Amino acid sequence: MLTLLVSLALVITLCIAGCTGTGTDEIPNSTPSEKQVLHIATTTSLYDTGLLDYLRTDFENEHNVDVKIVSAGTGKAIEYGMRGDVDVLMIHDRVREDVFLDDGYGINHRVIAYNYFVIVGPESDPAGIKGMLPEEAVKTIMEKGQTDESVVMVSRGDNSGTHAKEQAIWKSAGYEYEEVQNSGEYYLEAGTGMGATLVMANEKQAYTLSDIGTFLAYKGDLELVPLVDEGDILLNVYSAMQISPEKFPDVNTAIAKDWINYMISEEVQDEIGTFRVDEFGQRLFNPSRGAWETIGVTKEECEDPIP
């Protein structure tokens, strides 16, 4: 009888386990994997135009990742990278990019897009620079700004890629930047991002240097018009790179690589080329794919996925 009772108790126990799902062979309920976070420091022009917000949604969904973007001038963005505060750096100043790479802070540099800078200003064009080459234009603004109060120039003045390009134009025109800074009250340094600088220039009916993408994005709120848009020096190339895991072991190397490969993929390159074209009738950004000769880089930098 005792044996029978023990056997009966065992059967009941097994049945209960089977019904309640507590048996040892049960497959546990699957839980979604923890969402990763990708930190990106980017130049303001890539962010102010809305391009990165437009592109990140599909990437976030595909990779189960939350993309966090901090927008700043190139100089500040580089500081974030040098502290290991971000996983990816996206900027547009090749000289400083190469220094960053050579110093071991960055790896896997890829060119993602390009456009051109323009000198914009009031339609009345008090300095008469329309159609000039960039070097002639800034020289004319300086000369006329010293005697004509209606001639004003607003500079980014924030150590950004655009600010670096402006300094390169002044240097090509024969001026050291310190000389420009002290050349008169006509010359103002905003110390702000591209969008805010355009707004300030608009308020003062002043000239400023802008990338064409940000200018088009803000055009509806501005009275400024493009006046100088030709000259090799106006080329503006955007790149992305990973922050080095050797210097900063905690960076999210895998997802950073995935982001850069996503940016240079054929599909996303097509989206970069068509971004807001219907709205403005022209490109804010040109895809880098197939354009390495135009922008003076190697095919590998534009198209080869990071292994």
CATH number of the CATH domain containing 215:
3.40.190.10
User: Which residue segment(s) compose the domain that 139 sits in?
Assistant: 116-234
**CA–CA separation, 92 vs 160, rounded Å?**
9
Is the domain of 123 the same as that of 228? yes
Q: Which residues pair with 91 in a beta bridge?
A: 239
Is the domain of 121 the same as that of 230? yes
**CA–CA separation, 163 vs 111, rounded Å?**
20
Is the domain of 133 the same as that of 82? no
Is the domain of 182 the same as that of 138? yes
| 9 in any annotated domain | no
Contact (Cβ atoms closer than 8 angstroms) between residue 244 and residue 106: yes
Q: How many residues does the chain have?
A: 307
Look at residue 13 in the predicted model and tell me its pLDDT.
41
Residue 282 φ then ψ, to 5°: -160, 165
Rg of the chain on CA atoms, in Å? 27
| 8 in any annotated domain | no
Is the domain of 134 the same as that of 146? yes
DSSP state of 50: T
Look at residue 6 in the predicted model and tell me its pLDDT.
37
The terminus-to-terminus CA distance of the chain in angstroms comes to 71
Is the domain of 194 the same as that of 92? no
| 2 in any annotated domain | no
Helix axis angle, 253-264 to 266-274, nearest 10° = 60
CB count within 10 Å of CB 246 equals 10
**CA–CA separation, 131 vs 23, rounded Å?**
81
**CA–CA separation, 188 vs 90, rounded Å?**
27
Is the domain of 211 the same as that of 297? no
Is the domain of 202 the same as that of 126? yes
| Type of residue numbered 211 | D
Look at residue 32 in the predicted model and tell me its pLDDT.
53
Look at residue 34 in the predicted model and tell me its pLDDT.
83
Q: Indicate the number of domains in the chain.
A: 2
3-state DSSP assignment of residue 152 = coil
pTM (global) more than 0.75: yes
**CA–CA separation, 146 vs 164, rounded Å?**
23
Is the domain of 153 the same as that of 229? yes
* Boundary (domain end) residue, out of 234, 261, 282: 234
∠ CA 283-127-212, nearest 5°, is 10
Q: For residue 10, what are the contacts with CB-CB under 8 A and spacing of at least 6?
A: none
Is the domain of 59 the same as that of 191? no
**CA–CA separation, 170 vs 184, rounded Å?**
15
Alpha helix locations (H) across the chain? 2-20, 44-48, 51-63, 74-83, 94-102, 134-145, 161-172, 177-181, 194-204, 212-218, 253-264, 266-274, 277-280, 292-295, 299-303
List pLDDT tens digits, range 203-229.
Answer: 999 999 999 999 999 999 999 999 999
Residues of the chain with pLDDT under 70: 1-33
DSSP state of 207: B
